[in-house]
Structure 1
Amino acid sequence: MLSRWSKFKQLRHFGVGGVVVLALAACASVPGKQTGQATLAKQPLGSLVVATPDQNHDLLAQLMAGEMALTHTDLKAASASYSQAMMLSNDPKVAEQAAALAIAVRDTDGAQAAIARWQALGAKPAELAQARAQLALSQGNTDEAQRQLELLVATNDPDAWRQFGRVLIGSRDAAQASQLLEAVATPQRLPSDPQAWLAMSELGDKLGRHAYAMQVAEAAVKRFNSAETYAWLGQMKYRDGDKAGAKLLFDKALAKDPKDAHLRLAYATLLSQGGDYAGASRLLDNGPQDADTYSMRAALAAKANDTKTITRLYSQVQHSPDDVRQGSAYLLGQMAEMLDKKEEALKWYDQVPDDDDHAFDADLRSAVLLQDLGRSPEAHEQLAQMQTDYLDQPALLRRAYEVDAELYMDDQQYAQAEHAFSRALQVTPDDPALLYGRGLAFAEEGDTDKAVSDFRHLLELKPDDTDATNALGYTLADANRDLPEAERLIEAARAARPNDPAIQDSWGWLQYRLGHLDVAEKTLRGAWTAHKDADVGVHLGEVLWKQGRQEDARRVFDEVRKIDPQSTNLHNTLKRLNP
């Protein structure tokens, strides 16, 4: 749902809260018994005896054991410890936690005892009804669950409907939860709070009860006539394919609250999903701006390749209020990149905080920019630091290794690239993209056996992978070995993507290896015309040279030099053709 204004913000707020950590201790002491008259005064603490409770009667020990068990997700052990702790403590929070854990592990007797203890310690009626409803659901007792849920909402507790939602979200049986939602959350029972209505409508939608969700959403519009109710119903209408109805509702929502940036964002998202990028841009251009509106405006401009708008936005965000500018460092870096202001982009990315959602991406883009600026050692140093920083996050660690490898490939440092791909494969074994990349690195190094091994393994994992099929066929053809197999592979790749210049290059090079120079020249010229790739040009030039057309070959080689002055392939080919 759209609103961010009250306790019914999003369904995720129905989630169970964190574990309460208590630091409570108990100890008792008794004075020592006097054994007779003493001629000398005794030390004041000389006869003090401290009674140390055993672990079963030590509240702090039980709480610590419970927390330790939770850290290891051992719910049964945590439940046992909290069950013991609640009998030693007068804190209702301990009993509450004991009840929650007993319900989670389906310990009916333990849950009932914990709820009774919690009630004795002063739990609110709404809290008790929520716990009893959860217990009934875990037992499959729908009638009792409904009775408790009706008691819960009847308390008129400010949190009652949020607690109601938490019970249903936590149900293991979606059909059971749906039945209870429709039985209890009726328009007659829902409170005079539009957020509660919208939350129940969204919950129904998530549970697959679309008719109920629509009914509640339409009733909310009639009852409250508010921007948020119009917007939510508009979203539902749009998903149902009623785009005209959705736009009408969003127009009414904006008329109610034209300054709401989040409402404008939702409407703009709807318009852009329908392909109306210009309408979405116009909508966001007007009214108050924040980091989110600027971000979407920039995304729309980038999609339209509108450099003029990006330039204007770049200036606007730089001169926006401090909180907006500081929260937009990553966006400013992206826009600076789009405007080819690479040094400025680096500075903006450096200002992205470590706790920002885009911190990893900012570091990654910085490494790529350093490479583009000819500062390869700094780029790899940056990626090495990331590989340390994200050691405990496999997905991000894999990406850092992969980019490191790709930058080495760009610099034609194939041994280092292979090493980086290999480290990435230690993080995510049998990753197809990494196997493909490492296979290319091996092939460029001249280690055909290892390249072939990686490509074959990749095809075992993904038999229909056209890129891997072509790569294996080309590698065999380039090594001038197993040419019948190479032909079968490249034929299969051509059938899948007949107009792909890379596959045409493979086919042309195979024909050259087979001695079919005319076919090779025609195929490679077609690939070269479609895409001026340095390697394709080198292949075409070599074929022309072998045909005795050295001047034509030299002209192609000159074009290759303009595309890639450092081409190792061109250097090696010229050395072989004209030693």
Structure 2
Amino acid sequence: MGAAAALAGCATATPPAGQQPRQVRTGVQPLDRLQVAIVPPERDLEAQVMAGDFAIAHNDLKAASDAYGRAAALSDDPKVASRAAELALAIHDQAAAGKALDRWAALGAKPGELAEGRARMALDRGDTAEAQRQLETLVAAGGPDAWRAFGRTLVQARDAAQAGVLLERIATPQRLPNDSTAWLAMAELGENLGRHDYAQRIGAEALKRFHDGTTYAWAAQQKFHAGDKAGAKKLFAKAVAADPKNPRLRLAYGSVLAQGGDEKEAARVLAQGAQDADTYSMRMTLAARAADKAAIRRLYDEIRRQPDDVQADNAFTLGQLAELQDKKDDALDWYAAVGDDDPRAFDASVRSAVILHAQGKDDDAHQVVADLQTSYADRPDALQKAFAVDAELYMDAGQFDAAAAAYDKALRVKPDDTEMLYARGLAYAEAGRVDQAVADFRKVLDMKPGDIEASNALGYTLADNNRDLPEAQTLLQAARSARPDDPSVADSWGWLQFRQGQLDQAESTLRGAWAKQKDGDIGVHLAEVLWQRGEHDEARKVLNEVRRIDPKNAQLKKTEKKFTP
């Protein structure tokens, strides 16, 4: 019997005695009648919020505003209405912003919150009177954030002139709270909105009312920017005296002193009181500039006496201080201790590579750079810099083809980077790949017409290879006009004169460049001109000096061979 027939048979069989016949299920059953309600997406609060957040993540503020506007209409949560209002204001949608603010008001928004939003709407449509009314309501509402919200509203205004007018009308000395932070914020806002006189008045009044370090520092910065360095120094001294434990103030004061040429006093000010990574770093910089070995040693020992966490935070500075003391292995240890999340981690690896290269451990140096290239593969700027560091190490080692290959990789990251093109051109030139060098320099000049560095490099390369000397002369004349006192340009010009057979002029030009800058290339060129003029002893004397200052100079050995009998 088939399954269907069996089932049918079971349904019609006579029941045992004493039992009622079982009812056969026919027609529509209860489960068949069950209906599941489907909420349309436009009525689904959760769906609208998700749609809005998705649009924000994809930087589609219009779609986000629309979705949150619908969500606000469905929700009793004031946060949703607040979000809808903010998005509508961000895209300058007056109608949507008005609806969202009304909904937020119905859900219990504070007067100050509503006033901020309505002031932004009024500013958007150019209604100065309404904007003023709402801004006055905002600041009258009080609270710790009222003046911050006031400033934020004016910063976001599309018409700076209108915002400046409202700033002067509302943020008066009579209205501003007894808080120096608010006064200084309004003064700074005035400067940003082009209301210099207002900013000066508010700043001066703040200086009379408040005698804290921040107010003195703000006034000091104003004087410094106005060119009154003496006045700035006096006010910064007061700022530090008022708040001696604040390293930010001492750092600002030290910067002003250093820019004014008083680096010794800057170092003294920075050494007082609590320290942080920035004060340590600036003290190191000042000691290095002054070549003050005793100060470098004292600072190194001072930081090493600090707790382990302080040393860890300053591992990069400790590495630099160790380098300055020629403690290369210690420097490597400190650079290795710089954490991966430290903003100086990249620079620490670069310094490690440089030290390893100087120690003759080139394989290790290049491995450090290779690790950088892997670690920063998803960050184009850092990746390009890592390739450039590799190239510079090869250049210093005289491996010019390898350097050019490394610059190739840097240019794959950013093909139109003129700095990398210029550097690769130099590598090609040193490697004797003249056509490629000329092509790179020409491309730089196509992208940056009149660039002095590229003009000088192309002019020199043409002259050095006795190619297109009239063009070389035009390029180098332009470079000389732009930089008449630049020794490197003078060196190129002198070498062109030598190629043109003008030995007297070449000697005069190159002697002048050599007197200004004891550069190996200039010295080699001068020596060759002197040799051609028969001044052999003088030529050897110049080459001896080149050997002392630049023993790895690429042209030195070639020129010495010419002088060997």
Residue of structure 1 equivalent to 2:300 = 314
Selected match of 1:460 from 435, 446, 469: 446
In the TM superposition, residue 486 of structure 1 has moved relative to its aligned partner by 2.3
Once residues 220 and 99 of structure 2 are traced to their aligned partners in structure 1, the CA distance between those partners, rounded to angstroms, is 47
Report the AA paired with residue 436 of structure 1.
Y
Residues matched between the structures, number: 540
Distance 1:412 1:60, change over 3 A: farther
Report the AA paired with residue 106 of structure 2.
A
Selected match of 2:434 from 405, 423, 448: 448
Residue of structure 2 equivalent to 1:139 = 125
Residue of structure 2 equivalent to 1:60 = 46
Q: Is the 8 A contact 1:405 1:416 kept in 2?
A: yes
The DSSP-based 3-state class of the residue aligned with 2:176 is coil
Selected match of 1:196 from 149, 174, 182: 182
Once residues 339 and 146 of structure 1 are traced to their aligned partners in structure 2, the CA distance between those partners, rounded to angstroms, is 62
Q: Is the 8 A contact 1:102 1:108 kept in 2?
A: yes
Q: Deviations over 1:168-198 (max 9, x none)?
A: 1111111111111111111222222222222
After superposition, residues 356-367 of structure 1 pair within 5 angstroms as 356-367=342-353
Report the AA paired with residue 63 of structure 1.
V
Q: Deviations over 1:227-257 (max 9, x none)?
A: 3323322322333344444344334434433
The DSSP-based 3-state class of the residue aligned with 1:158 is coil
Distance 1:199 1:534, change over 3 A: closer
Once residues 280 and 577 of structure 1 are traced to their aligned partners in structure 2, the CA distance between those partners, rounded to angstroms, is 52
After superposition, residues 481-496 of structure 1 pair within 5 angstroms as 481-496=467-482
Distance 1:471 1:56, change over 3 A: same
Selected match of 2:403 from 407, 417, 430: 417
Selected match of 1:372 from 353, 358, 373: 358
Once residues 306 and 169 of structure 1 are traced to their aligned partners in structure 2, the CA distance between those partners, rounded to angstroms, is 46
In the TM superposition, residue 440 of structure 1 has moved relative to its aligned partner by 1.0
The DSSP-based 3-state class of the residue aligned with 2:108 is coil
Q: Deviations over 1:474-514 (max 9, x none)?
A: 21122222222223333443444455443344344334433
Long gaps (5+) in structure 1: 1-35
Residue of structure 1 equivalent to 2:5 = none
Report the AA paired with residue 331 of structure 2.
A
TM-score by length of 2: 0.86
Distance 1:247 1:483, change over 3 A: closer
Report the AA paired with residue 68 of structure 1.
F
Distance 1:415 1:266, change over 3 A: same
Selected match of 2:393 from 369, 394, 407: 407
Distance 1:215 1:483, change over 3 A: closer
Once residues 156 and 92 of structure 1 are traced to their aligned partners in structure 2, the CA distance between those partners, rounded to angstroms, is 21
Once residues 24 and 371 of structure 2 are traced to their aligned partners in structure 1, the CA distance between those partners, rounded to angstroms, is 72
Selected match of 2:339 from 337, 345, 353: 353
Report the AA paired with residue 360 of structure 2.
G
Residue of structure 1 equivalent to 2:244 = 258
Report the AA paired with residue 138 of structure 1.
D
Report the AA paired with residue 351 of structure 2.
R
Distance 1:562 1:252, change over 3 A: closer
Structure 1 window deviating more from structure 2 (456-465 vs 443-452): it is 456-465
Selected match of 1:239 from 215, 225, 244: 225
Once residues 100 and 447 of structure 2 are traced to their aligned partners in structure 1, the CA distance between those partners, rounded to angstroms, is 52
Structure 1 window deviating more from structure 2 (253-262 vs 493-502): it is 493-502
Once residues 241 and 290 of structure 2 are traced to their aligned partners in structure 1, the CA distance between those partners, rounded to angstroms, is 28
Selected match of 1:435 from 412, 421, 441: 421
After superposition, residues 86-485 of structure 1 pair within 5 angstroms as 86-485=72-471
Distance 1:246 1:414, change over 3 A: closer
TM-score by length of 1: 0.84
Distance 1:515 1:209, change over 3 A: closer
Once residues 358 and 105 of structure 2 are traced to their aligned partners in structure 1, the CA distance between those partners, rounded to angstroms, is 66
Q: Deviations over 1:403-439 (max 9, x none)?
A: 2222221122222222222332333343332221111
Structure 1 window deviating more from structure 2 (484-493 vs 536-545): it is 536-545
Once residues 273 and 86 of structure 1 are traced to their aligned partners in structure 2, the CA distance between those partners, rounded to angstroms, is 55
Once residues 311 and 146 of structure 1 are traced to their aligned partners in structure 2, the CA distance between those partners, rounded to angstroms, is 60
Q: Deviations over 1:520-558 (max 9, x none)?
A: 556556655655544445545555665677777666666
Residue of structure 2 equivalent to 1:29 = none
Structure 1 window deviating more from structure 2 (471-480 vs 147-156): it is 471-480
Once residues 320 and 281 of structure 1 are traced to their aligned partners in structure 2, the CA distance between those partners, rounded to angstroms, is 19
Report the AA paired with residue 70 of structure 1.
I
In the TM superposition, residue 98 of structure 1 has moved relative to its aligned partner by 0.7
* 1:76 to 2:76 alignment: no
Q: Deviations over 1:380-402 (max 9, x none)?
A: 33333333433443333332222
Report the AA paired with residue 353 of structure 2.
A
Distance 1:523 1:210, change over 3 A: closer
Once residues 241 and 541 of structure 1 are traced to their aligned partners in structure 2, the CA distance between those partners, rounded to angstroms, is 48
In the TM superposition, residue 56 of structure 1 has moved relative to its aligned partner by 1.9
The DSSP-based 3-state class of the residue aligned with 1:469 is helix
In the TM superposition, residue 343 of structure 1 has moved relative to its aligned partner by 2.3
Bigger radius of gyration, 1 or 2?
Answer: 2
Distance 1:563 1:48, change over 3 A: farther
Structure 1 window deviating more from structure 2 (520-529 vs 96-105): it is 520-529
Structure 1 window deviating more from structure 2 (563-572 vs 360-369): it is 563-572
Once residues 74 and 382 of structure 2 are traced to their aligned partners in structure 1, the CA distance between those partners, rounded to angstroms, is 46
Report the AA paired with residue 345 of structure 1.
A
The DSSP-based 3-state class of the residue aligned with 1:418 is helix
Distance 1:80 1:307, change over 3 A: same
Once residues 219 and 87 of structure 1 are traced to their aligned partners in structure 2, the CA distance between those partners, rounded to angstroms, is 48
Q: Is the 8 A contact 1:512 1:543 kept in 2?
A: yes
Distance 1:233 1:557, change over 3 A: closer
The DSSP-based 3-state class of the residue aligned with 1:258 is coil
Once residues 481 and 45 of structure 1 are traced to their aligned partners in structure 2, the CA distance between those partners, rounded to angstroms, is 95
Q: Is the 8 A contact 1:66 1:82 kept in 2?
A: yes
Distance 1:107 1:444, change over 3 A: same
Structure 1 window deviating more from structure 2 (258-267 vs 539-548): it is 539-548
Distance 1:236 1:569, change over 3 A: closer
The DSSP-based 3-state class of the residue aligned with 1:208 is coil
Q: Is the 8 A contact 1:291 1:325 kept in 2?
A: no
In the TM superposition, residue 340 of structure 1 has moved relative to its aligned partner by 2.2
In the TM superposition, residue 66 of structure 1 has moved relative to its aligned partner by 1.4
Q: Deviations over 1:76-124 (max 9, x none)?
A: 1111111122223222211111111111112111111111111222222
